Structure 1
Amino acid sequence: MRLTTPRLVIRPFIEADLTDLHELMQNPRLGAMAGWQPHHSQAESEAVLTMFLRSDEVFAVVDQVSGKMIGTIGLHRRAPSGTTPKDDSRELSFMLNEAFWGQGLMPEAVTAIVTFGFNHLRLQEIWVGHFADNQRSQRVIEKTGFHFEYEFERPRLFSDEEPVDEMYYKMTLADFRQR
């Protein structure tokens, strides 16, 4: 799978993405927003890259001009917290290098992957969630046409911090066609 937008390429990961992936994974702000501990070594990022290389659910987001891998986006075969998995449903994930925030790149990538999910994977619904305090993700989610469904409290992953509220949104095939 390879998707092209006006400014981005969305493609499977390659081994050469390791340096750029480590740059993302070591950022403590991104980790806090996504629920994982920042990586302290390139070996940690290499283990994640190995998983991504084997996956058909997570893709690299690449800046067309520089060729730099600047983020990740995925359509996962899992159900959001508190729901039952379905074959025609996926959960969206995304992450963007902080240096590229505020340029409208993630809505561009989300629109492309959602279109791919509904048109090529024949999905009936796509879910996406964010921590309640992650307003940047909330803006991307709302801007791209998802509708709020419910709030779910869960413990933070890999952390001894207080539980966090996670907000879940959904887009159905009917919603997508109406856009």
Structure 2
Amino acid sequence: MRLTTERLVIRPFTEADLTDLHELMSNPQLGAMAGWQPHHSRAESDAVLTMFLRSDEVFAIEAKADHKMIGTIGLHRRAPSGTTPKDDSRELSFMLNEGYWGQGLMPEAVTAIVTFGFNHLRLQEIWVGHFADNKRSQRVIEKTGFEFEYEFERPRLFSDEIPVDEIYYKMTLASFRKR
């Protein structure tokens, strides 16, 4: 799968993405927003890259301007907490290099992958969630047309921090077509 937008290419990962992926995965702010510990070594990032290379669920986001891998985006075959998995449903994930924030790139990428999901994968619904304190993801999610579904408290992953609220949204094929 390869998708192009005005400023981005969404494509499978390659071995050449390791340096850019490590830059993303070693950022403590991104880790906290997404629920994982920042990577302390390239070996940790290499292990994740190996998973991504084998996956048909997670893709690299490349900036056309400089050909840098600046983020990840995925449509995962899993159901959000509290729901039952379905074959025609996926959960969206995304992450963007902090140096590219505030340019409207993630809504551009989300719109492209959602369109792909509904038009080519023939999905009936796409879910997405964020921690309550992650206002950047919330803005992307709401800007791209997802509708609030539910909120619940869960413990932080991989840390001793206090539990956090996680907020889930959904877009159905019918609501996608109305947009």
Deviation of 1:164 (Å): 0.9
Structure-to-structure mapping, 1:164-175, within 5 angstroms:
164-175=164-175
2:137 is matched with which residue? 137
Rounded Cα–Cα distance in structure 2 between residues aligned with 1:54 and 1:153: 32
2:31 is matched with which residue? 31
Deviation of 1:128 (Å): 0.1
Q: Which runs of 4+ in 1 moved over 3 A?
A: none
Structure-to-structure mapping, 1:97-112, within 5 angstroms:
97-112=97-112
- 1:62 equivalent in alignment to 2:79: no
Q: TM-score, normalised by structure 1?
A: 1.00
What amino acid does structure 2 have at the position aligned with 1:103?
Q
Rounded Cα–Cα distance in structure 1 between residues aligned with 2:46 and 2:158: 19
1:76 is matched with which residue? 76
Rounded Cα–Cα distance in structure 1 between residues aligned with 2:44 and 2:90: 26
Deviation of 1:153 (Å): 1.1
Deviation of 1:119 (Å): 0.1
Q: List per-residue Cα deviations over 1:70-93 (Å, max 9, x = no partner).
A: 000000000001110000000000
What fraction of aligned residue pairs are identical, expressed as a percent? 88
- 1:120 equivalent in alignment to 2:113: no
Q: TM-score, normalised by structure 2?
A: 1.00
1:176 alignment partner, SS class:
helix
Number of corresponding residues: 179
Structure 1 unaligned spans of 5+: none
1:75 alignment partner, SS class:
strand
1:71 alignment partner, SS class:
strand
Q: List per-residue Cα deviations over 1:89-127 (Å, max 9, x = no partner).
A: 000000000000000000000000000000000000000
Structure 2 unaligned spans of 5+: none
